Amino acid sequence: MQKFIVTPWEVKGNIDYDKLIKEFGTSKINDALLERTKKHTKDLHYLLKRKIFFSHRDFDWILNEYEKGNKFFLYTGRAPSSHTHLGHLVPWMFTKWLQDKFKVDLWFQFPDEEKFLFKENLTLKDTEKYTYENMLDVIAVGFDPKRTKFLVDTKHANLMYKEAIKVAKKITFSTAKGAFGFTDETNIGSIFYTSMQAVPAFLPSVLKNKKIPCLIPHAIDQDPHFRVARDVMPKIDQYKPASIHCRFLPALTESGKMSGSEGHTIFTTDSEKEVENKIKKYAFSGGRDTLEEHRKKGGNPDIDISYQYLTFFEEDDKKLEKIYQDYKSGKLLSGELKQITIEKINKMLKEHQKKRDKARKQIDKFLKW
């Protein structure tokens, strides 16, 4: 098996998620934890049932506190560097579900300096543009404006900087090197950055002058940031943030994750035709070489990207199961499967784009708090 890499800046190869749990030292989400969650949420989100959210740190503690009447807040974020793509929507849809089920606040960070610092060719003008564009997508996901606050690092610097330096003071260069692989050639802004990403995990506690538990839903690549933050928090008299982690939506061409810097990524702003062309042209197929062989031996849904995408976006379990069986038996052809996925994604994006348009008028509600 090919070697895989998962860091906050790079995701490559065929990811072995069980191995990642061991390497990162997180915990697997088991059935007992799901049952316990269900007591509060009544049903389970399909992303949990399908183990797309598969790992956590201290989520059980969050439930302990919740059961004692001690509500948590949610924190997640997006570093603007390109338009939003389908992969970004996955943790956001799940975060919205958590917000609705537990009726809790969400702090959404837009670290608009992050990709400026880490990417050679990205200007602050670019990140400013994408901060706005990405905000539209976050709002379109449907977060409750009364319970959701946007934090933009360069805009809210007056509030955040004071907290960031408390964190930064407790992180040595050696720790940062160990967690992120920095070298002597890394710019010093990048080295400082993780302290900014730690801030929203305890800023609400500072503002309310009382410790409030924090739960961070995110894709597993962000874990190094919060691993470092968790070590620091007790030193500044704050709770360690808990977190819940998802897998990556695979790239259309199969290896690694969907990324905004690749040519065949599906963006939330794509037209129906663009989605169709990208899936037809690039989506890796688990089908057989000839029609005859496919009918006889069946396809392999487990490696078929169109099918994988349905596991992320088709909420109907029965529909999904039927597609799986029909593809495996050879009844459903690769072209037909692609068509199902194209229609599903286009339907979803049509709705999303409508809401995204309306969001232009709503931004202020999320920014002024």
Q: Which is nearer to ligand TRP, 219 or 340 (CB)?
A: 219
Taking CB under 6 A as the rule, does residue 216 contact ligand TRP?
yes
Q: Which is nearer to ligand TRP, 149 or 218 (CB)?
A: 218
The dihedral of CA 18, 23, 29, 30: what is its sign? positive
Taking CB under 6 A as the rule, does residue 26 contact ligand TRP?
no
Helix (H, G, I), strand (E, B) or coil at 19: helix
Give, for 52, the enclosing helix (H) or strand (E): none
Return left, alpha or beta for 222; rule: phi > 0 is left, psi -120 to 50 is alpha, else beta. Answer: alpha
Q: Which is nearer to ligand TRP, 195 or 222 (CB)?
A: 222
Taking CB under 6 A as the rule, does residue 76 contact ligand TRP?
yes
Candidates 34-42, 93-101, 173-181, 215-223 — which segment interacts with ligand TRP by CB under 6 A? 215-223
The residues, ordered by sequence, that sit 6+ positions from 264 with a Cβ below 8 Å of its Cβ are 251, 252, 253, 278, 281, 282
- Of 79-138, binders to ligand TRP (CB under 6 A) are 79, 109, 111, 114
**Alpha helices per DSSP H over 42-85:** 46-49, 59-67
Taking CB under 6 A as the rule, does residue 179 contact ligand TRP?
no
**Alpha helices per DSSP H over 68-213:** 86-102, 114-118, 124-140, 157-168, 173-180, 188-198, 203-208
Q: Which is nearer to ligand TRP, 111 or 256 (CB)?
A: 111
The residues, ordered by sequence, that sit 6+ positions from 332 with a Cβ below 8 Å of its Cβ are 299, 323, 326
CB of 61 closer than 8 Å to CB of 34: no
**Least Cβ distance, residue 57 to ligand TRP (angstroms):** 13
Taking CB under 6 A as the rule, does residue 359 contact ligand TRP?
no
Q: Which is nearer to ligand TRP, 87 or 299 (CB)?
A: 87
Taking CB under 6 A as the rule, does residue 77 contact ligand TRP?
yes
**Least Cβ distance, residue 193 to ligand TRP (angstroms):** 8
The residues, ordered by sequence, that sit 6+ positions from 232 with a Cβ below 8 Å of its Cβ are 167, 170, 171, 198
**Least Cβ distance, residue 49 to ligand TRP (angstroms):** 22
Q: What is the DSSP letter of 188?
A: H
Candidates 73-81, 181-189, 207-215, 331-339 — which segment interacts with ligand TRP by CB under 6 A? 73-81
Going by C-alpha positions, the residue among 217, 188, 186, 214 that lies closest to residue 199 is 214
**Least Cβ distance, residue 111 to ligand TRP (angstroms):** 5
Taking CB under 6 A as the rule, does residue 268 contact ligand TRP?
no
Tell me which of 45, 218, 247, 288 binds ligand TRP, using CB under 6 A: 218
Binding site for ligand TRP (CB under 6 A): 8, 75-79, 109, 111, 114, 197, 216, 218, 222
